[in-house]
Amino acid sequence: MKSMQLSVKGASCASCVKKIETALINTNGVSSAQMNFADRTVSVEGVASPESLIKAIEAIGYKASLNAAQSNHLFEQEQQDQKYYNLLIRKTYIALALGVPLMLYGVLGGNMQVSTDLDRIVWLVIGLLTLMVMVYSGRHFYLGAWKSFVHHSANMDTLIALGTGTSWLYSMAIVIAPTIFPEMAKHVYFEATAMILGLLNLGLALELRARGKTSQAIKRLIGLQPKTATVIRHNESLEINIEDVVAGDRVKVRPGEKVAVDGIVVEGSSFVDESMLTGEPIPINKEVDDEVVAGTINKSGMIIFKALRVGKDTALARIIELVKQAQNSKPSIGRLADVISSYFVPTVMIIAILSALLWLNFGPEPVVVYAVISATTVLIIACPCALGLATPMSVMVGVGKAAESGVLIRNGEALQTSSKITTMVVDKTGTITEGMPKMTDFIVVNGMAREMALQLAASLESSSEHPLAEAIVTTAKAQGIKLVDINGFTSITGLGVKGGCDDKKLLLGNHRLMSEQQIDVSAHQETVQALASQAKTVMYFAINGEMAALIAVADPVKDDSKSALSRLQGDGIRIVMLTGDNPQTAKAVADSVGISEYLAEVLPEDKADKVRMLQAQGEVVGMTGDGINDAPALALADVGFAIGSGTDIAMESADVTLMRSSLHGLADAIAISKATLRNIKQNLFAAFIYNIAGIPVAAGLLYPFSGILLSPVIAGAAMAFSSLTVVSNANRLRLFKPMD
Amino acid sequence: MIMVNLLGLALIALIVWWFWLYQRHTYMSPTTEVTIDLADGVYHPDVIQVKANSTVKLKFLRTDPSPCSEILQIPSLNYSQQLNLDQITEVTIEDIPRGDHPFHCQMKMYNGLLQAV
């Protein structure tokens, strides 16, 4: 059973709905069909092929197509944006074609007064031309203003409509009845109306362009999803649409192709590039039983995997959803701007009236002109958009930028708090270290051949289930060593293992085992101590009662943990390491990565207590862990960072998810958060300057001291470009490089 | 001049009443599904009353091409959603808590109110 959505064309009445639904239900393999008349789509459930559904709809006289996938939606959205952009540019041209010559005429000393009958006729024609411009280029503003007004709300359109409407009405009043105005007040402002409309449309068009760029990160993520997949059904390879892949399908991926859905490798092996999701630049080796994730690229061999998660359940789809949600959320820093925005437009209208009244009562002659100019300018210069856009635009780019670096930030609040972290609590195992024991040293003694000794040791340990044994076997296999048969294998609890190979008696275990078997290891104690001080567990390997090798196993520190932690320390962040390990191992690891504060033998529940204690000291605490046993501490911290868990449930619960296992992701997350907050502050500052400084100047505050009174045209330009300023500034974040 | 000043003050009073004090008409939803048009700068209906603690499906049909209208936010429910142009975007709210839940665009220029009673 699968669900499909079809777009239907030609359905013009409600009765078509019943007709289409019936036609579909009568098609073989359809269990239900429901049409949505508003958006002309029909949802169909069943096993019927899309072709048969389209045929059924076309047979009754309508046109149908399989509804677009997410990427096509995006394409449609882009096309619609382009269409709207072109329309805005046309409106700009028309308005400026009238506004610019008129303004130049006025600036160059042309007569803008209505003094004679000829002036009246000429300006009447220009007034009517301006009206036509208002209808074509400003229709959307006036319609929006009116609709808002009848809904008892006001928005940017209200201000534009009032501002341009006032200047046009005042000018037309002069043209129609010049005698009621004093001689000095017979100046017309048609050029202001046309210019303002032109500039505002231009500003909107440029804003639309700039806004498109802010969502590039999400477009890139959506673009990772391939459109088709090759599945093997009934021993036959079929290329099918991605929407038709179902869980359990065997999916074939050739070198160079993208993995279509999430799954587990069942055949073949290859290196897979996961950098687009995790930021991890080195391709990962995938073998049978390894998981592969949708959107990643198969680099070398061919693999066949079994689909586990498809559609909106894939890790990629969940990441896209998470990023979208986070991009649309707001941190508290934008709250003040929000509150102001709610009261903004009516307040500006009141200020405009008060300003006009002040000019009328106390202004110089011609008071009417000054009153109209100041009221119009106040209405036009105020820009609620810049104020409202300041925070969300930066969050949108910042969260997208983080996603590109393999850092998933859950919401705007997490972004803001991350930028304020003063102490970072870091779990050791799996966070600073690899989380899997590895053989780090194999030191042969008494002239033993290394390869043979390692072969025998690994062969002996291959029968053991101890994690340290597994580390030895894995390393030996990775070095191309073939294991041999062991006879008489015995595990000696708490001590080690013994067995035989041909005529050799093999013994591998700790110091006590060697002592019990009377094997002298005293000559190697210096080496043993040196290895132990590096947080390594040392084992002894003896052949025929004689020491053959010292084997050290450790959970190695990740190559880049030290440099990543130095980045955080360089930012003034205090690092505290917590581990359940013994003090000697903890100290060795802490020393190796340059951490001076650490706590050993800490139980998972004690980690949360440590976080609480640091918070009580006034620290803003970040907690980094693997998201499973660290869950209480992650939840309690001001910001919880789940590391290397992009495909599991931690993604939904952590504040920040680091898709790659490197701690550089953590440093990147903090750097991006700081850069985004800086950007938000710049935007809020710009928006407040435009409005807080702009409105009083427009009202004529500077006039008594300097004779400066803003022209409505300048105000129009300021309003148009204020939004553009914040959107463009937010776009600067796209160029930010966390490692710089 | 006194008349002009009085007229100005009356206009201010009118603005305060019209935009801030006026009680907007409430759309009482007979079902748990409401279609909301987003066109020409407004949501219609803009004040919607639904039953508290029920599952509510809001279907937003956005025909307003202005970029201002593309994001819908319901802060009290911690919800945000991109509304695609000329398409219906469904917003399902399960177990809606009693109280007022304002919804708006990113810039709070387009406003609506969901009342769960």
Which pLDDT score, from 0 to 100, does residue A647 have? 44
Q: Number of CB pairs < 8 Å for A and B?
A: 122
Average pLDDT over residues A111-133: 93
CA–CA distance, A512 with A403 (Å, rounded to integer): 52
Residue of B nearest to A385 (CA): B107
Closest chain B C-alpha to A198 CA, distance in angstroms: 16
At the second CATH level, the architecture of A438-554 is 3-Layer(aba) Sandwich (3.40)
Name the β-bridge partners of A298: A272
Average pLDDT over residues A630-655: 73
Helix A664-688 to helix A384-404 angle, to the nearest 10 degrees?
A: 170
Residue A321 has pLDDT above 60, yes or no: yes
Interface of B with A in 57-116 (CB under 8 A): 59, 61, 65-68, 71, 73, 75, 78, 80-82, 84-88, 105-111
Q: How far is residue A657 from each of residues A435, A574, A591, A663, A737, measured CA to CA in Å?
A: 18, 21, 27, 12, 19
CA–CA distance, B17 with A329 (Å, rounded to integer): 32
Name residue A386's amino acid: A
Closest chain B C-alpha to A350 CA, distance in angstroms: 6
Q: Of the candidates B5, B18, B71, which has its C-beta nearest A328's C-beta?
A: B71
Residue A69's nearest CA partner among A216, A225, A212 is A225
Residue pair A410/A328 in contact (Cβ under 8 Å)? The answer is no
Would the CA dihedral through A458, A464, A467, A470 be positive or negative?
positive
Confidence of residue A652 (pLDDT cuts 50, 70, 90): low
In A522-582, alpha helices (H): 525-532, 561-570
Q: What percent of chain A has pLDDT over 70?
A: 94
Which pLDDT score, from 0 to 100, does residue A492 have? 83
Give DSSP secondary structure letters for A221-290: HHHTS-SEEEEEETTEEEEEEGGG--TT-EEEE-TTPBP-SEEEEEE--EEEE-HHHH---SPEEE-TT-
Q: Of the candidates A36, A204, A392, which has its C-beta nearest B106's C-beta?
A: A392
**Pick among A153, A213, A396, A691 to test the B interface (most B CBs inside 10 A):** A153
Residue of B nearest to A155 (CA): B109
Residue B42 has pLDDT above 80, yes or no: yes
Which pairing describes strands A303-309 and A250-253: parallel, antiparallel, or unpaired? antiparallel
Interchain contact, B82 vs A328, CB within 8 Å: yes
CA–CA distance, A557 with A587 (Å, rounded to integer): 13
- Tokens 């080195």 label which residue? A282
Domain range annotation of chain A: 2-67, 246-309, 406-433+558-671, 438-554
Q: Of the candidates B20, B71, B111, which has its C-beta nearest A346's C-beta?
A: B20
**Pick among A5, A325, A353 to test the B interface (most B CBs inside 10 A):** A353
Burial of A636 (0-12, 13-18, 19+ CB in 10 A): middle
CA–CA distance, A698 with A709 (Å, rounded to integer): 7
Residue pair A548/A445 in contact (Cβ under 8 Å)? The answer is yes
Angle at B87 between CA B86 and CA B88, to 5 degrees: 135
Interchain contact, B44 vs A151, CB within 8 Å: yes
Residue pair A205/A85 in contact (Cβ under 8 Å)? The answer is yes
Q: How far is residue A242 from each of residues A30, A74, A225, A231, measured CA to CA in Å?
A: 20, 17, 9, 10
- Residue A614 tokens, joined: 């640091």
**Pick among B42, B59, B113 to test the A interface (most A CBs inside 10 A):** B42
Residue A478 has pLDDT above 80, yes or no: yes
Please name the residues in contact with A237: beta carbons below 8 A apart, sequence gap of 6 or more.
A230, A231, A252
Interchain contact, A38 vs B80, CB within 8 Å: no
Residue B98 has pLDDT above 90, yes or no: yes
Confidence of residue A628 (pLDDT cuts 50, 70, 90): low
Q: How far is residue A632 from each of residues A160, A599, A606, A612, A696, measured CA to CA in Å?
A: 53, 17, 9, 11, 52
Which pairing describes strands A63-66 and A2-9: parallel, antiparallel, or unpaired? antiparallel
Helix A190-214 to helix A70-107 angle, to the nearest 10 degrees?
A: 150
The CATH number of A246-309 is 2.70.150.10
Residue A339 has pLDDT above 80, yes or no: no
Q: Quick count: other Cβ atoms within 10 Å of Cβ A736?
A: 18
CA–CA distance, A653 with A135 (Å, rounded to integer): 52
Which pLDDT score, from 0 to 100, does residue B22 have? 85
Residue of B nearest to A141 (CA): B40
Residue of B nearest to A150 (CA): B18
- Tokens 């590096």 label which residue? A534
How many separate helices (H) and strands (E) can be counted in chain A?
26, 26
Average pLDDT over residues A48-65: 82
Average pLDDT over residues A393-413: 87
Residue A424's nearest CA partner among A602, A610, A154 is A610
Q: How many residues in chain A? A: 740
Q: Give CB contacts under 8 A, 24+ apart, made by A46-52.
A: A46/A1, A46/A2, A47/A1, A47/A2, A50/A4, A50/A6, A52/A27, A52/A28
Which pLDDT score, from 0 to 100, does residue A94 have? 96
Confidence of residue A646 (pLDDT cuts 50, 70, 90): very low
Residue B27 has pLDDT above 60, yes or no: yes
Interface of B with A in 11-50 (CB under 8 A): 11-12, 15-16, 18-20, 22, 24, 35, 39-42, 44, 46
Q: What is the mean pLDDT of chain A?
A: 85
Fold of A2-67: Alpha-Beta Plaits (3.30.70)
Q: How many residues in chain B? A: 117
Residue of B nearest to A341 (CA): B108
At the second CATH level, the architecture of B25-116 is Sandwich (2.60)
Residues from chain B that touch A211, judged by Cβ atoms under 8 A, are: 67
Residues from chain B that touch A153, judged by Cβ atoms under 8 A, are: 19, 42, 46, 110-111
Confidence of residue A583 (pLDDT cuts 50, 70, 90): confident
Residues from chain B that touch A208, judged by Cβ atoms under 8 A, are: 67
Residue B30 has pLDDT above 80, yes or no: no
Would the CA dihedral through A353, A358, A363, A368 be positive or negative?
positive
Interchain contact, A153 vs B80, CB within 8 Å: no
Residues from chain A that touch B40, judged by Cβ atoms under 8 A, are: 140, 143-144, 147
Angle at A646 between CA A644 and CA A652, to 5 degrees: 120
Confidence of residue B28 (pLDDT cuts 50, 70, 90): confident
Domain range annotation of chain B: 25-116
CA–CA distance, A25 with A23 (Å, rounded to integer): 6
Confidence of residue A563 (pLDDT cuts 50, 70, 90): very high
Interchain contact, B39 vs A147, CB within 8 Å: yes
Residue A182 has pLDDT above 80, yes or no: no
Confidence of residue A70 (pLDDT cuts 50, 70, 90): very low
Residue of B nearest to A156 (CA): B109
Residues from chain B that touch A36, judged by Cβ atoms under 8 A, are: 88
Closest chain B C-alpha to A169 CA, distance in angstroms: 17
Residues from chain A that touch B18, judged by Cβ atoms under 8 A, are: 149, 152
Which pLDDT score, from 0 to 100, does residue A712 have? 83
Please name the residues in contact with A399: beta carbons below 8 A apart, sequence gap of 6 or more.
A217, A323, A326, A327, A409, A412, A415, A676
Average pLDDT over residues A135-162: 88
The CATH number of A406-433+558-671 is 3.40.50.1000
Q: What is the mean pLDDT of chain B?
A: 86
Residue A464 has pLDDT above 60, yes or no: yes
Residue pair B86/B38 in contact (Cβ under 8 Å)? The answer is no
Which pLDDT score, from 0 to 100, does residue A650 have? 54
Closest chain A C-alpha to B49 CA, distance in angstroms: 16
Residue pair A507/A517 in contact (Cβ under 8 Å)? The answer is yes
pLDDT tens for A253-310 read: 988 888 999 999 999 888 888 877 776 667 888 888 888 989 888 888 889 999 998 8
Residue A221's nearest CA partner among A400, A20, A481 is A400
pLDDT tens for A421-461 read: 999 999 887 788 887 788 889 999 888 888 889 999 999 98
Residue A472's nearest CA partner among A582, A527, A554, A557 is A554
Q: How far is residue A631 from each of residues A605, A606, A653, measured CA to CA in Å?
A: 9, 12, 9
Q: Of the candidates B15, B35, B66, which has its C-beta nearest A346's C-beta?
A: B15
Interchain contact, A350 vs B5, CB within 8 Å: no
CA–CA distance, B85 with B63 (Å, rounded to integer): 6
Residues from chain A that touch B82, judged by Cβ atoms under 8 A, are: 324, 328
Residues from chain A that touch B67, judged by Cβ atoms under 8 A, are: 81, 204, 207-208, 211
Residues from chain A that touch B4, judged by Cβ atoms under 8 A, are: 357, 360
pLDDT tens for A496-543 read: 899 998 888 999 988 888 998 899 888 888 898 888 778 787 889 999
Which pairing describes strands A621-625 and A297-298: parallel, antiparallel, or unpaired? unpaired
Pick A216 or A647 by higher pLDDT. Answer: A216
Residues from chain B that touch A389, judged by Cβ atoms under 8 A, are: 106-107
Q: Of the candidates B12, B65, B108, which has its C-beta nearest A341's C-beta?
A: B108
Distance of CA A24 to the CA centre of its chain: 40
CA–CA distance, A307 with A146 (Å, rounded to integer): 54
Confidence of residue A740 (pLDDT cuts 50, 70, 90): low
Q: Of the candidates B1, B41, B68, which has its C-beta nearest A361's C-beta?
A: B1
Pick A685 or A629 by higher pLDDT. Answer: A685
What positions of A carry a catalytic annotation?
427
